[in-house]
Amino acid sequence: MYIIVVGAGNIGTPLIEIAAEGGNEVVVIENDETKAEAAASAFDCLVLHDDATAKETLVDAGADRADALISTTDQDATNVMVCLLSKELDIPNIVSVVHNPEHMSLYRQIGVNTMENPQRLIAEYLYRAVKRPSIVDYMRIGDEAEVFEIRVDDGAPIAGMSIREAAEADHLRSDMLVVAIERDGTGNPITPRGSTVIESGDLLTVYSAEGATPDVTDVFGHFEDH
């Protein structure tokens, strides 16, 4: 892929590294001279020290053949302008960081894929790691629903039950779904069926409409503070 990355700061720099190591052709636009020089010396890609909110800069970066543009600056106004120009230049896939949640609707009107303030997401993840240590990993869906990974402890109410039995016993409520089961650390997930028995030590991927609340995680043997 031909990818234009706008911004070589805390978010853009690891993105550039990942994209370049993935074998993509990467062009970076960075308005700060020091950051532009650092990116040019660290990565095997073209770095333009220029203003991405100028249409000519995007043209110089190869917008006519770009498969995607990702805007990562710390200013929503800059990201919005870059996205608008990218739409005008018919870049097919446009993604932007959004720092102020109140601006999300604006990005949706433009038709841009977004990533909410990564610093806040990291902060929430760290807080969750302390508050709910039983959760291995999670992803929020909407305001409350979550998909999360959780290990089934010894003595868990659900251990030894089939998924059908767990649902009949109301351990798995109607708004919960076991998406995948990883067993014995093989890395090969089991696709759950009604007859699939949940064993102690299983790593489950679970969807819950109300999120990973204590009432939800109790059934997996993690009796944390309510």
Q: Over the stretch 25-60, which tens digit does the pLDDT of each residue have?
A: 999 999 999 999 999 999 999 999 999 999 999 999
156-161: long-range contacts (C-beta < 8 A, 24 or more apart)? Answer: 156/200, 156/219, 156/220, 156/221, 157/218, 157/219, 157/221, 158/198, 158/219, 158/220, 158/221, 159/198, 159/199, 159/200, 159/221, 160/197, 160/198, 160/199, 160/200, 161/197, 161/198
Looking at residue 152, its amino acid is V
Q: Do 79 and 71 form a contact (C-beta atoms < 8 A)?
A: yes
Task: Kindly report the pTM of this predicted structure.
Answer: 0.66
Task: Say if CB 30 and CB 39 are below 8 A apart.
Answer: yes
Q: Which residues pair with 180 in a beta bridge?
A: 205
Name the strand (E) or helix (H) holding 170: none
Decide whether 2-115 matches 132-220 in CATH topology: no
Among candidate residues 48, 49, 50, 5, the one with its CA nearest the CA of residue 24: 5
User: Which pLDDT score is estimated for 115?
Assistant: 76
Over the stretch 72-89, which tens digit does the pLDDT of each residue have?
Answer: 999 999 999 999 999 999
Domain boundaries, the chain: 2-115, 132-220
d(CA 65, CA 2): 7
CATH tag, 132-220: 3.30.70.1450
| DSSP code at position 80 | H
Residue 20 predicted with pLDDT over 60 = yes
CATH 3.50.50.60 is right for the domain spanning 2-115: no
